[in-house]
Structure 1
Amino acid sequence: MGQGRQPTVDVHAHFLPGHLPGWPGETAGPRWPRLRTGDTEGQILIGDSLFRRVRPSLWDVTERLRELDEAGIDHQVISPVPVTLVYDAEPEPAARYARALNEALAQTAGTSGGRLTAWGTVPLQDPAAAVRELEHLSGTLGLTGVEIGTTVNGLELDDEALTPFFAAAEATDTIVFVHPMDGGGGAIRRRGQPYDFGLGMLTDTAMAAGALIFGGVMQRFPRLRVMLSHGGGTLPWAWPRLARGARLGDVDHTIDLAATIRRFWVDSLTFDPGHLRLIIDRFGADRVMTGTDHPFITRQIHTATEEIETARRDGTITDDESGALRSANAVALLAGRSGDPSTADSTVDSTVEKKRDDAR
């Protein structure tokens, strides 16, 4: 790290351990994701079908850290690959799969020299099992967050069946990271590319956020911490119309909409420096953080910080907002709900300080 360079924390990245102890495997049927690794490329398989070709940094910690160094990323939050949120599986093997994945992710973070923070997963198709796993990952494993999908087998996130999960997330102060599933498929009337990636994933995220807001989840759990992927999807653009539409429907009119939307944290993954101004204005200057989707989007681990610098240079965002976006907001989120960077997570702080010392 060059002396004087501003530290960067990436809150949106994915990791898939090469070996999952206790994985249900083929005895549970063809649904289960698995990773086939190679020297220069790997494959995510669903049963025997190819789902995606991937780079070694998806599963190799050494290669992951090399890429972080190359891109100037000081600390990174790793979360499950969305395809591993197997909500359509039977509850019992899904719970075992989540346990194995969480323990492997915790082990991965533990071998990273403090460079990685891991978030886990829970089997939301069985809310009681999800609560048990949430308590295990947050208590026993010490994971600070959990990734969830935008829907659970057709249930929206404000469905009463999921209330015990959100209650447990608030009680354990676990960050809830909402990420679209199925690559955005089914969220809009057209399928395939560019529609799924370009519109489906963003619409899916906004619909999930809408359920949390207008369905009263954020109101019922005032200490719940929720992070939305991909800049909040279409939510920041659609918000004025959604807020107006809420007056026309049967939404609880006691909900303070302006305050509620500013309770979300979001990443910066919009692919456009100009968009940073709107998401900062919509969610708050203390709520937007660097996100890369590493290692799935080619060079985005480099481009994300370049976009922030471009926005700072051209006056779209201020110097203070740039610093908050690159590291301070993420450090505050990982520290706890106070939002005070002075109480920052010691692992993140020590990582940044160590790299400063190395640079000297």
Structure 2
Amino acid sequence: MDTRVSGDRAGAVDVHAHYFGIDLGSRLNSRPDDRWPILVPGTDGGGVLMLGDQLFRRVRSVLWDVDERVAELDRAGVAVQVISPVPITLAYWADRRAAVDYARASNDSIADAVRRGGGRLEGLGTLPLPHVGSAVAELHRAVADLGLRGVEIGSQVGEFDLDAPELWPLFEAAQELGAAILIHPTDGGGGVLRRSGQPYDFGLGMITDTAIAATALVFGGVLERYPRLRIALAHGCGTFAWAYPRLRLGASIFDAVDPAHADRLVSSLWVDSLVFDHRSLRVLADRFGGDHLLLGTDHPFIPGQLEGAAAFVDAAASSGALTREQARGLHRHNGLAFLGMVADEITTLRRPASSCPAGAGGRP
């Protein structure tokens, strides 16, 4: 039975999760070269992502199986999950034709998963960047035709940092469409630091990459130029919240930036909660505002984050890192606002998506 959900009784909204459709390869018009990832399902309920003949990652079938995903959402008390592409597919080295083909196939696959999710999934697509004209056209198609809520882009687009004027048409189109943008680090944090390998790339490279992206948005004029953008940065915006006081001081000294104005720009950003220590949420709330904190789990890649999401938010409230009101917002309401939705738009099905009619919609 369908139950209209609203208010605090409803389940959580998870804005940071990834999906790789098993149908993606069949949607491509041509066979991609070996730099594109390929999903190879196994016989044990899992599979592998391959780059040519190199193993990139072992994955669980929930990465592509919508029924399994919805069942896991049920167990975790998550009402709606926003699925976005696996970051390795943000391949900004591709020529225009291949990039457009892959982006269209990926977005069609995500939109189909949203439809099959029976109201439990929302989608963010991908774009054929750095080919900005084609990316703007695909953004319009993804949002207006496919019903996706926005797009995921990388923290760097090819040779462009996010304040490059070459990217302005994309941000202008996103603002006009009301499309949400999730920024995710690319290349697993590789190449960001003077030292490579693990745990440096995962533990410092990815979050430094994200902080550089946020710095470009705040101090590079993007948020000034496009004030109605809804941009979220994964992994709690990386190290930015802790580096910001020094960045603000530097901008004031060297570029005569008004610190209060910089604060206002920072507070327009959204960040997810994937910081692995609930005490860190106090700093995020101070920097970005409690109403711009989003639940993020990186499902299905990091074990325990989806299952432990509710306990994580409760711990933040119990310890005083967040107020109860801020915790409620993080749990649900802020995610709806980021997506440009309201509570009454969400219909939660209390059964797996496999029991829904084939045409059960993911759109309100």
Query: Residue in 2 aligned with 1:29?
Result: 33
305-314 vs 89-98, greater mean Cα deviation:
305-314
| 8 Å Cα contact 1:273-1:308 kept in structure 2 | yes
Residue of 314, 317, 333 corresponding to 1:312: 317
SS at match of 1:158: coil
Measure how far apart 1:315 and its partner are.
Answer: 2.4
Measure how far apart 1:5 and its partner are.
Answer: 6.1
Change (3 A) 1:321 1:328: same
66-75 vs 50-59, greater mean Cα deviation:
66-75
In 2, the alpha carbon distance for the partners of 1:255 and 1:147 equals 29
In 1, the alpha carbon distance for the partners of 2:248 and 2:118 equals 45
Superposed CA offset, 1:10-52 (max 9, x none): 11000000011432554x4211111001242111111221110
SS at match of 1:256: helix
Confirm or deny that 1:326 pairs with 2:331: yes
Letter in 1 for 2:183: V
Query: Residue in 1 aligned with 2:153?
Result: 148
Higher RCO (CA < 8 A, seq sep 6+): 2
In 2, the alpha carbon distance for the partners of 1:240 and 1:312 equals 25
Superposed CA offset, 1:286-344 (max 9, x none): 000111000000111122322111121222222111111100111122235xxxxxx44
| 8 Å Cα contact 1:268-1:304 kept in structure 2 | no
Confirm or deny that 1:268 pairs with 2:276: no
Query: Residue in 1 aligned with 2:286?
Result: 281
Letter in 2 for 1:52: R
| 8 Å Cα contact 2:22-2:64 kept in structure 1 | yes
In 1, the alpha carbon distance for the partners of 2:35 and 2:172 equals 30
Query: Residue in 2 aligned with 1:75?
Result: 80
Confirm or deny that 1:13 pairs with 2:27: no
Query: Residue in 2 aligned with 1:244?
Result: 249
Measure how far apart 1:85 and its partner are.
Answer: 0.8
Letter in 1 for 2:325: D
| 8 Å Cα contact 2:279-2:321 kept in structure 1 | yes
In 2, the alpha carbon distance for the partners of 1:116 and 1:198 equals 29
Letter in 2 for 1:290: L
State the superposition RMSD in angstroms. 1.9
Query: Residue in 2 aligned with 1:217?
Result: 222
Superposed CA offset, 1:175-205 (max 9, x none): 1110000111111111111111111111000
In 1, the alpha carbon distance for the partners of 2:56 and 2:256 equals 40
Superposed CA offset, 1:206-246 (max 9, x none): 10011111110110011111011001110111110010011
In 2, the alpha carbon distance for the partners of 1:344 and 1:173 equals 18
Residue of 181, 190, 210 corresponding to 1:185: 190
In 2, the alpha carbon distance for the partners of 1:238 and 1:35 equals 38
SS at match of 1:301: coil
Query: Residue in 2 aligned with 1:105?
Result: 110
In 2, the alpha carbon distance for the partners of 1:315 and 1:255 equals 26
SS at match of 1:129: helix
Measure how far apart 1:126 and its partner are.
Answer: 0.4
SS at match of 1:153: coil
State percent identity of aligned pairs: 48
Find runs of 4+ consecutive structure 1 residues off by over 3 angstroms: 250-255
User: What is the TM-score when the length of structure 1 is the normalising length?
Assistant: 0.91
In 1, the alpha carbon distance for the partners of 2:165 and 2:139 equals 18
Residue of 123, 148, 170 corresponding to 1:165: 170
Aligned length: 343
In 2, the alpha carbon distance for the partners of 1:251 and 1:146 equals 34
Unmatched runs of 5 consecutive residues or more in structure 2: 352-364
Measure how far apart 1:142 and its partner are.
Answer: 1.1
In 2, the alpha carbon distance for the partners of 1:251 and 1:116 equals 45
Query: Residue in 1 aligned with 2:209?
Result: 204
In 2, the alpha carbon distance for the partners of 1:287 and 1:85 equals 25
| 8 Å Cα contact 1:312-1:322 kept in structure 2 | yes
SS at match of 2:290: coil
| 8 Å Cα contact 1:10-1:76 kept in structure 2 | yes
Change (3 A) 1:246 1:293: same
SS at match of 2:182: strand
Confirm or deny that 1:302 pairs with 2:307: yes
| 8 Å Cα contact 1:74-1:355 kept in structure 2 | no
Superposed CA offset, 1:127-156 (max 9, x none): 000001001001111111100001111210
Letter in 2 for 1:176: I
Superposed CA offset, 1:58-96 (max 9, x none): 000011111111222111000000001111111111111
